[in-house]
Structure 1
């Protein structure tokens, strides 16, 4: 399930891509499938090892174009171990809300993006996230959890303050918002609760089948309660 639209990001085969805070690697895998030179970056060594293994499996199974490369790198978002302007495209999906010094992280993302390159930044959207925080303290008050709720204006201001130009904004994953509201209401760790299990089955059905009914539902829900806000930005040439 992708949050970033790689067509809007403008990714072309052969370009160098940084997936900062890659987590389980969903966006790094998509960039690799599209023929990019991908670096999946995170501070979780165990997750990075799993990402590396899947990179290898993708190549062995012929899922990537000839010439595409992929690697993982462990490190700190506040001091990225890359040169200035090293990447054509940068993705930071659902990561800034975890970082206390977000301005430093944003400055680092802008630094490693080449002039003329594009970036996609996603965070939980203000209203759906506010409801989750109101329903459950456990949802966010844990080590490494969410430490802030961004408004659209706050995040745009911080990113443009780092010298980036806003190209566009989107809201996605409207179907996922009620799922998290239910989890927060009944207990975020109660995965076997009947309501949680039932809604989870709907989400799996949507991801696997992409039926017309859920696609139409997301078109309605995304602008209203899309779980994630996505900003597309460009570093001036």
Structure 2
């Protein structure tokens, strides 16, 4: 389940890319399949060990171009161990809402992105996330949980001040918003609830089968109840910070 449109980022052979906060690697794997030189980066040693094993398996099974490269590395998003202007593409998907020092993380992302390079940042969308917080404290008051809810315009302002130009926005995962509202209503850990189980089975079926009806339906619903918002960005080639952009929720 991808939140980012990699065609929009132009990811392909020879693209040097990093997925900051890679988690279980879904976006890193897609960039690897496209032939990029990818680093999956996360603070979880276990997740990165698992992602590294999957990279090896993808290569061994011939699921990636022969010249594609990938590795998984452990570290802190506030102190990235890479030189300035190192990457063509930088991705931060569903991570900034977890980081108290989000502007420091943005500054690091901008530092390692090459002039003229592109980035994508995704976070939970404002109003679907507000519903989750209103229904359940358990949803976000956990170790490593969400520490803030972004309005898209607020996130765009922060990223612009960090030195990036917003080139586009998008919304995704509309079918997942009601699922999380339901889980928050009955208890986040109550996976045995008949409605939760039934909806989860629907989502799994949808992801595996990709039927025409749900694909078209979700695309139609994304602008209204898409659970995630994605901002597409560019680092100016001349190093001049762009003027603030207007992004509506």
Range into which the TM-score falls when normalised by the shorter chain: over 0.9
SS in 2 for 1:230: strand
Equivalences, count: 237
Query: Where in structure 1 do 4 or more consecutive aligned residues deviate above 4 Å?
Result: none
Q: CA RMSD in A?
A: 0.6
2:29, 2:9 → 1: CA distance? 15
Query: Match of 2:175?
Result: 175
Query: Where does structure 1 lack aligned partners over 5 or more consecutive residues?
Result: none
Name the SS for the 2:117 alignment partner: strand
2:89 aligns to what? 89
Q: Counterparts of 1:9 and 1:133 in 2: how far apart (Å)?
A: 32
* Match in the other structure for 1:109: 109
Deviations 1:110-145 (A, max 9, x none): 000000110000000000000000000000001100
Task: Give the structure 2 partner of residue 13 of structure 1.
Answer: 13
Tell me how far apart the structure 1 counterparts of residues 9 and 95 of structure 2 sit (CA, whole Å): 18
Deviation at 1:192, TM superposition (A): 1.4
Residue of structure 1 in register with 2:34 after alignment? 34
Aligned counterpart, 1:49: 49
Matched with 2:22 is 22
Relative to the length of structure 2, the TM-score reads: 0.94
Q: How does 1:1-237 map to 2 (within 5 A)?
A: 1-237=1-237
Whole-angstrom distance in 2 between the partners of 1:152 and 1:36: 29
Alpha-carbon separation, structure 2, partners of 1:234 and 1:40: 20
Gaps of 5+ in 2: 238-249
**Shift in Å at residue 220 of structure 1?**
2.1
Q: What TM-score do the two structures reach when normalised by structure 1?
A: 0.99
For the 8 Å contact 2:22–2:40, the answer to whether it is kept is yes
CA shift for structure 1 position 29: 0.3
Distance (Å, rounded) in 1 between the aligned partners of 2:139 and 2:89: 31
